[in-house]
Amino acid sequence: MGFEDGHSRLMSDINVTPLVDVMLVLLIIFMVTAPMMMQGVNVSLPQTTSKPLPEEKDYLIISVDPNHQIYINDYKVAMEALQAKMEKILVGRPGQKVYLRADKGVPYGVIVRVISEIKNAGVEKLGMVTEPLKKTTKKR
């Protein structure tokens, strides 16, 4: 009773071609979708000639969208609750850096009120986030 008759031998090699195919498809999917994954609220920032901020991870971003909705990082907060939420976040974090991102269409009075609430919560360092000014070419 022999199982080895010469025609039905088991193959001991692993076929990696399907694995490579799947990995390449996943790589392409991640390369296409990665630029679309942005942090924060979508706002149209004003343009200035300031220098870019250094890359740091220890900061909070307060965003004000065109509908005057306020967000701490990605979490929506009412104007009346902003100071209390900020105070709770800042407990045990002296010198916490906070950056304000506001849509350029938001009225000045709303921005001043948000800044006031942030400062009243005890924030010492508040930065404003802007976009670099686009250079225009002059035609002669």
Question: Of 42, 60, 45, which is closest to residue 97 (Cα–Cα)?
Answer: 60
pLDDT digits (tens, 9 = 90+) for 40-66: 556 666 666 666 655 656 678 899 998
pLDDT > 60? residue 140: no
pLDDT > 60? residue 115: yes
Confidence of residue 38 (pLDDT cuts 50, 70, 90): low
pLDDT > 90? residue 74: no
Considering the domain delimited by 47-132, tell me its CATH architecture. Answer: 2-Layer Sandwich (3.30)
The amino acid at 4: E
Q: In this predicted structure, which of 69-73, 83-87, 110-114, 135-139 has the lowest mean pLDDT?
A: 135-139
pLDDT > 60? residue 77: yes
pLDDT digits (tens, 9 = 90+) for 94-114: 777 888 988 888 898 999 999
The pTM of this model reads 0.57
- The ranges assigned to domains in the chain are 47-132
Percent of the chain with pLDDT over 90: 16
The amino acid at 33: T
| 131-137: long-range pairs with CB below 8 Å, 24+ | 131/45, 131/46, 131/47, 131/48, 132/47, 132/48, 132/49, 132/50, 132/52, 133/47, 133/48, 133/49, 134/47
**Which tops the pLDDT comparison, 15 or 50?**
15
Q: In this predicted structure, which of 21-25, 30-34, 73-77, 108-112 has the lowest mean pLDDT?
A: 30-34
Phi, psi torsion values for 48, nearest 5 degrees: -140, 175
